[in-house]
């Protein structure tokens, strides 16, 4: 996991986190404030996040299975 933003030990703040689990990648926007501990994280796909920034994500190449060579 990679993150940018306020240090987690700060009493309030915001961070953007990139989480990778296998081929499933997502970006989470998290915010916290001392009087409101129930702010849920908001998750975005890589494509949604890039589109909001005006970027284009290249399409994934389809993998071709190799032939069994015996």
Q: Of 9, 56, 1, nearest to 27 (Cα)?
A: 1
Rounded to two decimals, what is the model's pTM? 0.55
**Phi–psi pair at 52, nearest 5 degrees:** -65, -30
pLDDT recorded at residue 68: 65
pLDDT recorded at residue 64: 66
Q: In a structure prediction context, what are the per-residue pLDDT tens digits for the chain, which is 70 residues long?
A: 788 888 878 888 888 888 877 777 788 888 888 776 667 778 888 888 888 888 887 777 776 666 666 6
The kind and range of the H/E element at 52 are helix 46-52
- Between CA 3 and CA 28 the distance in angstroms is 9
pLDDT recorded at residue 33: 81
């Amino acid at each position: 996991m990679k993150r940018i933003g306020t240090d987690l030990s700060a009493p309030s703040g915001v961070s953007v986190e990139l989480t990778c689990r296998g081929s499933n990648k997502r970006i989470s926007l998290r915010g916290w404030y001392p009087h409101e501990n129930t702010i849920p994280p908001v998750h975005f796909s890589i494509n949604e996040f890039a589109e909001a920034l005006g970027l284009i994500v290249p399409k994934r190449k389809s993998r071709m299975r190799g032939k069994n060579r015996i």
